[in-house]
Amino acid sequence: MAERTTTRTIDQTDTPVFEHGSELVAGVVEWYRAEARDLPWRRPDATPWAVMVSEFMLQQTPVVRVLPVYEAWLERWPTPAALAAEPVGEAVRAWGRLGYPRRAQRLHAAATAVEEEFDGVVPSTYEDLWSLPGVGEYTAGAIASFAYQKRHIVLDTNVRRVLSRAVSGVEYPAPATTPGDRRIATALLPEAAADAAEWAAASMELGAVVCTARAPRCDDCPVAELCTWVATGKPPYDGPPRRGQTYEGTDRQARGRLLAVLRDTHGSVPREELEAAWTRDVVQRERALASLVDDGLVMVLDGERYALAH
């Protein structure tokens, strides 16, 4: 998904000059303190494990879908040790219909690593967090910031879109984090760790509810008067077509249908039940089933029966 405009991109070697960085940060933080959604992982009693669970679940999944699964998950597994003690298949089953079930598998693996390598305590350093299965650059920074109030840049899609528009005047950021993104984020990062963590949460919230991808609410934006994109007349995206996420008829949908059958059954199911779950394309179904086995999400028992991985 290549994204560019005729103005300037944020993956270039220089960092755009932005004279109002401190005002931008202060304006967004002030707005956040008044308007932030009350989410359980943001509350003072949220444990580092709770923050970690939320970060895994929120990847490519909206808050409204995450909330019920998150709450049930922490009630069942309030610590990494509790999750690590159960089979990975139970994590996949509890993941329900959040999508991308390998996240459940990786969260289980991360919980196991926390239990075995860090005495059951979610680590606080960026380096140790990044060493965990399923934790990358963004997730490590987010957990360190939100769980431990550490000073790190936190660059999810929402934050990168806010910085792209406000600082660079570009409607959409590049599809993946670039060196330019990191330079801009570092230049804006408050010096005090607690302030940096609050800025990370505030800029993320602004991108999620105001500076959205499809219909930005610029009239409601607390820093619209500082936004380069607004000041330059909101130049439209004119790069190659942006690929929207499709689901209907994809291998992802086929995998989801097959997993749904297995999640709803405690034990194994015969191949015939899986075949009935996806009849539109036999080759696609076999490919999806094979990929679930290869990913370690599903086991083959006695050749013709299948179950979630133990």
Six-digit token string for 286: 């076999």
**CB-hemisphere CA count at 13 Å for 164?**
35
Answer for the pair 230, 60: CB distance below 8 angstroms, yes or no: no
User: Which residue shows structure tokens 């709770």?
Assistant: 50
Question: Backbone dihedral region of 4: left (phi > 0), alpha (psi from -120 to 50 degrees) or beta?
Answer: beta
> In b/e form, how buried is each residue of 297-309, taking b as 16+ CB within 10 angstroms?
bbbeeeeebbbbb
Answer for the pair 16, 181: CB distance below 8 angstroms, yes or no: no
Residue of 3, 23, 35, 55 marked active site: 55
Q: Has 55 been annotated as catalytic?
A: yes
Q: Strands 269-270 and 298-301, how do they pair? A: unpaired
What are the catalytic residues?
A: 55
